[in-house]
A and B are shown apart, each in its own frame.
Chain A
């Protein structure tokens, strides 16, 4: 059925060839086409990601031996700050919605674009402006910020470094996030193809729906909080600094009221991607579609109430401590439901093992380790021992890099033929994944152990007892970066040189596979009428 449709559409210019009002690079940076905007984000993020990954590698090289290896303490402090700010605020928070949400949401629900294409382009511009301001903190003023990505009070007022641009940039980035969220919510409410009821909508759009609500409702809180830092630093208003009559724990509350829901902004779309990849390669309807939808919304909702688990050692009241601990354990339930559903989908399936599927499998493996280590940290007693150690760093790299990062690369390998009309070299893609996956585990697994035996995070130095595992971990970092180089080189090269891809190389059943690869400018010559559920393989 799909093939014949695409042949008819082939004479239309696809979105890559299309010539509009502007030429050259302007045809991209002023394009309101959701697909081009998706690629704008993709390219911006690949550049930023490569830079931040290199900072990470340099930190790991510093930690290969005790004492000063390649940088001094202050440089190390500014490296983990810039690494964290870039990875969190510029990559994993906007990441999947901005790149794949933009590109595929309209295609998957049978629409020609998002509801507000101009607002969409504005979001990208705000993103670039925010990124530029954040990065400017490195190059002028009193030296790069050194607070870590969390900007904790009162240090963020006392440090002599260049805080204002970093905080202001993060504030501006929030608007991009909110605008994208509103855009997606309206798109899903108003522009689903005829016949696509809510319960016939694919799971990646569903995940974006939950994510968008968090973006709209939680981002303003961090916005105000960052603004309060600016006011406190410039006008000496005492919100958080005890010396001015403020409360530093209030800062932690406000910061995590946003930043915990923000971890669900990162992970929900990742779960959505996995829910697309698994049924396609299992050739089976997803097990428990409704349970996945409900757990998506439940995660989005309960995720608002657990922020205090980042503050167990801050001196909060006992009542708050155990309330947050209980709520934290609750939020693991919907995540576990999803794991069960994915595994149940694989049960007795005739699986087609391809690169995107391998990424999804690796996701399941590392995400489980990340989630379970979260439970360890959610327990009050264990947390007192493990807070601010390498264990926490291992936890969130397993879950953020292992979750969102793996899903991002999985999505890239899954939708690549649709986006570029070409296929990457599958052999190299698998080798890259194998090297990356081995490196990833060699890098982060020892950090669980290091945290348990007491190695604190955010130090450039350590005592001799920690040396062995650190050597292993630093070696893992080099291996992992080599894997990334293979993966990215293969993808970049294949965009020009890869084999021409068919419209539906994986035999997917969702609407994006019914249009040509790359999709025509307006996606659908005729808006499809949906009669079936999204993963109909029977």
Chain B
């Protein structure tokens, strides 16, 4: 229905770069398990997984080129998710 349906074409090169970045991060998260980071192992794994999802969302799923509104919606959902995790940890950290 909406008129301003401009299609954004992402360069082939960009996709390849993203693919390489994703692969690199996958290998890193495997490699990191052999280092002994203690309690930070989980945070490192989550950080890498988070960056990967962000890349996929922004580039592959075109969030970066879409209307701002969608980014706000997705951002809101992540904020909700983060708050739920935060509250759960009010139990685990103080038990």
Contacts and interface: CB of A to CB of B under 8 A. Distances in A.
A318 B94 contact: yes
Contacts of A305: 83-84, 87
B93 A190 contact: no
B11 to A, nearest CB: 31
B5 to A, nearest CB: 14
Chain B interface residue bracket vs A? 10 to 19
A381 interface: no
Contacts of B1: 190
Contacts of A320: 87, 90-91, 94-95
Contact of B90 (A190, A257, A304, A317): A317
Most chain A beta carbons < 10 A, residue from B84, B91, B93, B94: B91
B80 A323 contact: no
A319 interface: yes
B75 to A, nearest CB: 13
Contacts of A257: 84, 88
Nearest to A247: B92
Interface in B38-93: 77, 80, 83-84, 87-88, 90-93
Interface string A200-227: 0000000000000000010000000000
A257 B81 CA distance: 11
Most chain B beta carbons < 10 A, residue from A249, A304, A305, A320: A320
A308 B91 contact: yes
Given A316-B95, A317-B95, A253 B90 contact: no
A217 B80 contact: yes
A320 B93 CA distance: 10
Contacts of B77: 217
Given A190-B1, A217-B77, A304 B91 contact: no
A516 to B, nearest CB: 28
A304 B80 contact: yes
A308 B86 CA distance: 13
A338 B43 CA distance: 43
A138 B66 CA distance: 49
Contact of A319 (B80, B84, B94): B94
A190 B1 CA distance: 9
A217 B81 CA distance: 9
A406 to B, nearest CB: 30
B91 A253 contact: yes
Contacts of A308: 87, 91
Interface in A287-309: 304-305, 308
Interface in A119-161: none
A318 B94 CA distance: 7
Nearest to A306: B87
A249 B92 CA distance: 10
A533 to B, nearest CB: 24
Nearest to B92: A317
B84 A304 contact: yes
B3 to A, nearest CB: 14
Interface of A: 190, 217, 249, 253, 257, 304-305, 308, 315-320, 323-324
30 contacts: A217-B80, A253-B88, A253-B91, A304-B80, A304-B83, A304-B84, A305-B83, A305-B84, A305-B87, A308-B87, A308-B91, A316-B91, A316-B95, A317-B92, A317-B93, A317-B94, A317-B95, A318-B94, A319-B90, A319-B91, A319-B93, A319-B94, A320-B87, A320-B90, A320-B91, A320-B94, A320-B95, A323-B87, A323-B90, A324-B87
**Closest 10 pairs between A and B when the two form their complex, measured CB to CB:** A317-B94, A320-B91, A319-B94, A317-B95, A320-B90, A316-B91, A317-B91, A319-B90, A253-B88, A323-B90
Given A305-B84, A320-B95, 4 more contacts: A308-B87, A308-B91, A319-B93, A324-B87
